[in-house]
Chain A
Amino acid sequence: MTYPALATIILMPPVVLGLATVLTWVERRLLGLWQDRYGPNRVGPGGMFQAVADGTKILFKQDWIPPFADRAVFVLAPVIGMMTVLLSFAVIPVTMGVGIAGDMNVGLLFILGMMGLGVYAVVLAGWASNSKYALLGGMRAAAQMVSYEAFMGLSLLGVVMMAGSFNLHDIVAAQAGLWFIIPQCLGFGVFMLAGIAQTHRLPFDLPEGENELGAGFHTEYSGMKFGMFFIAEYAGIVLVSSLVTTLYLGGWRGPFLPPAVWFALKTGGMVVFFILLRAALPRPRYDRLMALGWKVLLPLSLFNVMATGTILMLRASL
């Protein structure tokens, strides 16, 4: 194992966790800006240390497990949630050289696999809590995430076909001339929707659905176990944003500025877009979300695969 890889392994988790923590503050400030109010602005410059204060508070809270819960699974669920997101970052190519397993030849499949495992966190949390609101949340999560995963993979096939590889470095390299967002605009749209559904953020936050289910699958969680779900959600936003950057926005490519800065800018822009969605849109009903998935997005992504394939074949035969 080379020295830089070791350094990345050590640095990646704190950086991602730090980013996710700061993101909680960024989101609250941005929401405040868009909603004609301040948001947290008291602790540190511009309220920046609010995230630290919240983190400290949540770390010191009583670690409580409801007596009616299934203890082992109840503890395991947030761990799974946190772990799968962190592991996914291993294959994200921040720049040419940085990335733990950057050259993994099935990088994209690895990420999809990890996202698939991430469903367990939510479903098990809902089940182990042994409470009705949590159960309903877990049920919704199972249905929503499993079905959106199906065509999340399909929507990415177009990118894979055009790059001819599952390796994320190759995919970025293949966008040298044109970012995939233009030829793959359909796949991009489907992937975005599926990405929001996977991170269960508003407008697709049905597993939590505050107005309907209290707090959904994590109703019974408190203290750091809740904190892990929370951080995992924000790390998930960063993950999906960096995936979008890598797959559709040319990754770290860009003129003048260093590659890492381009990557950060593009990812940051996507994150802000995620937050803007939350500020702007209401939540569709659960069954309509499922109908949208199976009746609209699935055919669209299939069509995208066929169209991309056909065009590639025609081009090759010319």
Chain B
Amino acid sequence: MSTTLASTREQGLADMISAHLPNGALATQSTCDGVSIIWIAAADLRPAFAALKASASLMLLDLAAIDERDRTHRDGQPQAAFTVVYHVISLTVRVDEVRIKVPLGATAPALPTISDLWPGANWYEREAWDLFGIHFHDHPDLRRILTPPTWTGHPLRKDHHARATEMPPYSLTEEHEAREQDAMRFDPSAWGMRPHGDHSDFMFLNLGPNHPSVHGVFRIMLQLEGERIVDAVPDIGFHHRGAEKMGERQSWHSYIPYTDRVDYLGGVMNNFPYVMAVETLAGITVPPRAQMIRVMLAELFRIASHLVFYGTMAQDVGQLSPVFYMFTDRERVFGIIEAICGFRMHPAWFRIGGVAMDLPEGWEGLVRAFLDDLPGRLDEYDAMVMRNPIFRARTKGIGAYTTAEAVEWGITGPGLRATGLAWDYRRHAPYACYDQLEFDIPTGTNGDCYDRIAVHVEEIRQSLRIIRQCVDNMPAGPVKADHPLTTPPPRARTMHDIETLIHHFLSVSWGPVMPPGEARASIEATKGVNTYTLISDGGTASYRTRIRTPSFAHLQMIPLLSRGIMIADLIAILGSIDFVMADVDR
């Protein structure tokens, strides 16, 4: 089953939504990134989304909230204490997207749920409840998702403290400890599971948060009948570090290293959407050489990340050796990255307006040697892993879903392409210099574990192809834009006139001040679409940093995929999803 993309809509998504609003839009808001924002009333939300759902195959890419109470620059926007933003995209030949905002009051903000229309909205609504205290009526399971159940307050609200020093010293009293212990006790009915079957009791198996095959701190409660899974309920949040909250405290520049650690296998791939969003806010045009360097490094990290995936996937089905070969190859990628950036996993090497420095002497030789070597080794791995009959038996036909399901649940990246839909952000909404580069979009046919792995493997080959083009066509020129808001700011004339010196001093000590506005940048990250939405209120730090990560959406689908299968299959599915818990929990 191969699905082809619809050509660009005759009618833009924004017009389409406006047409479906019973009472019309409250307002429209323009943004730096050119995607229109439509404000609608809470009462119009469900009718509008029901109509959208019926008329077109759209993906709910993101759902997030904003605490508007401290914001000063809100020209032309309806009154609101909180805002809920729905980001909808259509997977057409040119990506069409729109953001819908709903204003809410300060006391007991609430909205109707849309999780019955878009199952993928379920976790996003829980996140908005957890972090902002926005209630969603008729939500099937509105529990905290990222913070522990005993948490008080809603961390992303502006009045919630951001640092430990803003709180009294922590002490664990006996009753507090008892409460925490009590919250850890497992109660099947609280998780939406029946303790007894028709003829026998079920066995509940706590898979994780520290199990060898959950790739980090991730917990799944399994309801078992023998070794067959009756139901599975994922539990996330163990790796939540408040990355979005940190964005509100760090300067625009000093937040870059934090992004590195969101998808810790992706390295500079995380810097990419962040600096792109800041550049959009500031109106900086990045010079071609910097663009090409960014793309080259991002693709090197894609290879590094996919190699880890490939090796650990083989290990998850019990093959011990491949992971060592693939980590050896990854080590070579890190050798190149270290030569260029000086760091291995978290280089924090992109800067607002370009990259930290020019490529070192001799970089070409390093990259070319790697480009010549890896394809042969990939062929060997094909023979060892992909054509191994036991491996095929373990992955073929396991954990399959269709394109329609993928779109409904917000699945992007290799997991979407494995279903047969050749949709890639690099191709359908080209950023940086991807429009000048040639590459294919590998797809699968069945959307099962095997296809997801095959797509990953082929993507490594395509990334090699992209890197080769980058090496062959690397333009000359500066690696950072000549713009006052770049970091660190240009200093060529600081010793010649006092005005430049003052600006340079302020930009370095306080950090740059971004003009007020909203900007969003998406990229095709290693695991799917990674989006940073930044709101500037005209300060040295972001007013709201929203990170939409692919893994968050992907994990939501686990219950759907795991009903009725064996534990061993679940392990294969977990491996093939390719998630990183830091990317899920942020």
Q: Is A284 an interface residue (CB 8 A)?
A: yes
Report the Cα distance A132→B224, complex, angstroms: 11
Q: Which residue of chain B lies nearest to A31 when distances are taken between CB atoms in the complex? A: B320
Say whether A212 contacts B568, CB under 8 Å: yes
Interface residues in A, total, Cβ within 8 A: 30
Distance in Å from the Cβ of B104 to the closest Cβ of chain A? 44
Instruction: Decide if A54 is an interface residue (CB 8 Å cutoff).
Output: no
B321 touches A34 (CB 8 A): yes
Taking a contact as CB atoms closer than 8 A, the residue among B211, B321, B328, B388 that contacts A214 in the complex is B211
Cβ contact within 8 Å between B566 and A211: no
B582 at the A/B interface (Cβ < 8 Å)? Answer: no
Taking a contact as CB atoms under 8 Å apart, the answer to whether B318 and A288 are in contact is: no
Q: Which of B212, B316, B319, B393 contacts A288 (CB 8 A)?
A: B393
Residue contact A35 to B390, C-beta cutoff 8 Å: no
Interface centre among A139, A202, A210, A281 (most CB of B within 10 A): A281
Interface residue A67 (Cβ < 8 Å from any Cβ of B)? no
| A211 x B321 contact (CB < 8 A) | no
The answer to whether B568 touches A214, judged by C-beta atoms less than 8 angstroms apart, is no
Query: Given the interface contacts A35-B321, A132-B203, A288-B393, does A282 sit within 8 Å of B314 by beta carbon?
Result: yes
CB nearest to B569 among chain A residues:
A285
CA distance A282 to B328 in the complex (A): 20
Contact in complex: B320, A35 (CB < 8 Å):
yes
Query: Cα distance A279–B215 when bound, in Å?
Result: 22
Report Cα–Cα, A205/B567, bound state, in Å: 15
Contacts of A178 in B (CB 8 A): none
What are the residues of chain B within 8 A of A212 when measuring CB–CB? 213, 567-568, 571
Does the CB pair A282–B317 fall under 8 Å? yes
In the complex, the answer to whether B325 meets A36 with C-beta atoms within 8 Å is yes
The answer to whether A209 and B568 touch across the interface, beta carbons within 8 angstroms, is yes
Those of B273-324 within 8 Å (CB) of chain A: 314-321, 324
Indicate if the CB atoms of A282 and B388 lie closer than 8 Å: yes
Q: Which A residues from 172 to 218 make CB contacts under 8 A with B?
A: 202-203, 205, 209-214
Check: B205 CB closer than 8 A to any chain A CB. Answer: yes
B431 to chain A, nearest CB (A): 37
> What 0/1 readout, one digit per residue, does chain A (278-298) give for beta carbons within 8 Å of chain B?
111111111110000000000
Contacts of B568 in A (CB 8 A): 209, 212, 283, 285-286
Contacts of B569 in A (CB 8 A): 285
- What residues on B are CB-neighbors of A34 within 8 Å? 321
**Which residues of A are found within 8 Å of B316, using beta-carbon distances?**
211
Query: Which residue of chain A lies nearest to B314 when distances are taken between CB atoms in the complex?
Result: A282
Q: Which of A70-90 contact B (CB under 8 A)?
A: none
> Which of A37, A285, A286 is in CB contact (< 8 Å) with B393?
A285
What residues of chain B lie closer than 8 Å to A210, measured between beta carbons? Answer: 212
Query: Which chain B residues numbered 537 to 571 have a C-beta less than 8 Å away from chain A?
Result: 566-569, 571
| B391 contacts the other chain (CB 8 A) | yes
Expressed in whole angstroms, the Cα–Cα distance for A98 and B355 within the complex equals: 74
A145 to chain B, nearest CB (A): 16
A274 to B206, CA, bound (A): 33
Are A37 and B324 touching (Cβ within 8 A)?
yes
* Interface set, chain A 106-139, CB cutoff 8 A to B: 132-133, 136, 139
Question: Interface centre among B319, B391, B566, by most A CB within 10 Å?
Answer: B319
| A34, A136, A211, A283 interface centre (most CB from chain B within 10 Å) | A211
CB B395 to nearest CB in A, in angstroms, measures 9
Contacting B320 at CB < 8 Å: which of A132, A278, A285?
Answer: A278
- Could you tell me if B205 and A285 are in contact, using CB atoms closer than 8 angstroms? no
Q: What is the minimal beta-carbon distance from A69 to any residue of chain B, in angstroms?
A: 18
Which B residues touch A278, using CB under 8 A?
320
Cα distance A286–B316 in the bound complex, in angstroms: 14
A139 partner residues in chain B, CB cutoff 8 A: 227
Instruction: Collect the chain B residues with CB atoms within 8 Å of residue A279's CB.
Output: 320-321
Q: In the bound complex, how far is the Cα of B203 from the Cα of A223, in angstroms?
A: 29
B13-37 residues with Cβ-Cβ distance < 8 A to A are: none
A279–B384 Cα distance when bound, in Å, is 11
* Complex Cα spacing A294 to B96, Å: 56
A213 to B227, CA, bound (A): 11
Nearest CB to that of A204 among chain B residues? B318
Return chain B residues, CB-CB under 8 Å to A37: 324
Distance of A284 Cα from B319 Cα, bound (Å): 10
Minimum Cβ distance to chain B for residue A209 (Å):
7
Query: Are A283's CB and B393's CB within 8 A?
Result: no
**Min CB distance, B195 to chain A, in Å?**
15
CB contacts (< 8 Å) of A202 on chain B: these are 318, 320
Interface residues of A in 32-59 (CB under 8 A from B): 34-37
Q: Is B394 an interface residue (CB 8 A)?
A: yes
Provide the bound-state CA to CA distance between A285 and B397, in Å. 13
Give the contacts of B384-416 with A (CB-CB under 8 A): 384, 388, 390-391, 393-394
Q: Chain B CB within 10 Å — which of A136, A202, A213, A286 has the most?
A: A213
When chains A and B are docked, how far (Å) is the Cα of A229 from the Cα of B318? Answer: 20
Set B205, B206, B388, B567: member contacting A281, Cβ < 8 A:
B388
Whole-angstrom distance between the alpha carbons of A288 and B393 in the complex? 9
| A233-247 vs B, Cβ < 8 Å mask (1 yes, 0 no) | 000000000000000
Minimum distance in angstroms from A231 CB to a CB of chain B: 21
Q: How far is the CA of A210 from the CA of B211 in the complex (A)?
A: 9
Question: Closest CB of chain A to B263's CB: distance in Å?
Answer: 23
Of all chain A residues, the one with the shortest Cβ separation from B318 is A283
Closest residue to B325 on the A side, CB-wise?
A36
The chain B residue with its CB closest to the CB of A282 is B319
Contacting pair A283 B567 (CB below 8 A): no
Q: Which residues of chain B come closer than 8 Å to A132, judged between CB atoms?
A: 203, 205-206
Which A residue's beta carbon lies closest to that of B572?
A285
- A161-177 CB mask vs B (1 if < 8 Å, else 0) is 00000000000000000
- Interface-central residue, A37, A203, A283, by most chain B CB under 10 Å: A283
Whether A282 pairs with B324 at a CB distance below 8 angstroms is no
Whether A282 contacts B318 by the Cβ 8 Å rule is yes
Question: Which of A214, A284, A286 has the most chain B CB atoms closer than 10 A to its own CB?
Answer: A284
Closest B residue to A210 by beta carbon equals B212
Determine how close the nearest CB of chain B comes to the CB of A217; give it in whole angstroms. 14
Q: In the complex, what distance in Å separates the CA atom of A139 from the CA atom of B203? A: 14
> With the chains together, A34 CA to B227 CA distance in Å?
34
For A254-280 the 0/1 string (1 means CB < 8 A from B) is: 000000000000000000000000111
Of the candidates A35, A203, A209, A286, the one whose C-beta lies within 8 Å of that of B324 is A35
Contact across chains for B566 and A286 when beta carbons are under 8 A apart:
yes
Residues in chain B near residue A136, CB distance under 8 A: 205, 227, 567
Q: A132-B203, A281-B388, A282-B388 are in contact. Are A211 and B324 (CB under 8 A)?
A: no
Q: Given the known A-B contacts A280-B321, A282-B317, are A287 and B566 also in contact in the complex, defined by CB atoms under 8 Å?
A: yes
Tell me whether B213 and A211 are in contact (CB under 8 A): yes
Q: Is the Cβ of B393 less than 8 Å from the Cβ of A284? A: yes
Q: Which residue of B lies closest to A211 (CB)?
A: B213
Q: Bound state CA distance, A214 and B211, in angstroms?
A: 7
User: B329 → chain A, closest Cβ, in Å?
Assistant: 10
Near B by CB (< 8 A), chain A positions 8-41 give: 31, 34-37
A211 touches B315 (CB 8 A): yes
Nearest-CB distance from B425 to chain A (Å)? Answer: 32
A134 to chain B minimum Cβ distance, whole angstroms, is 12
B318 near A211 with CB under 8 A, answer yes
User: Which A residues touch B319, using CB under 8 A?
Assistant: 280-283
Interface string of A214-232 (1 = CB under 8 A from B): 1000000000000000000
Give the complex CA separation of A287 and B324 in angstroms.
29
B227 contacts across to A, CB distance below 8 A: 136, 139-140, 286
CA gap between A36 and B322 in the complex, in Å: 10
A308 to B445 alpha-carbon distance, docked (Å):
47
Task: List chain B residues, Cβ under 8 A from A35.
Answer: 320-321, 324-325
Contacts of B394 in A (CB 8 A): 282-285
| A282–B391 touching, CB < 8 Å | yes
A211 and B320 form a contact (CB under 8 A): no
7 example contacts (A-B, Cβ-Cβ < 8 A) are as follows A133-B205, A136-B227, A139-B227, A203-B390, A279-B320, A280-B319, A287-B566
Which 5 pairs of residues, A with B, have the shortest CB-CB distance? A283-B318, A282-B319, A35-B324, A282-B318, A282-B317
Q: Which chain A residues have a beta carbon within 8 Å of chain B's beta carbons?
A: 31, 34-37, 132-133, 136, 139-140, 202-203, 205, 209-214, 278-288
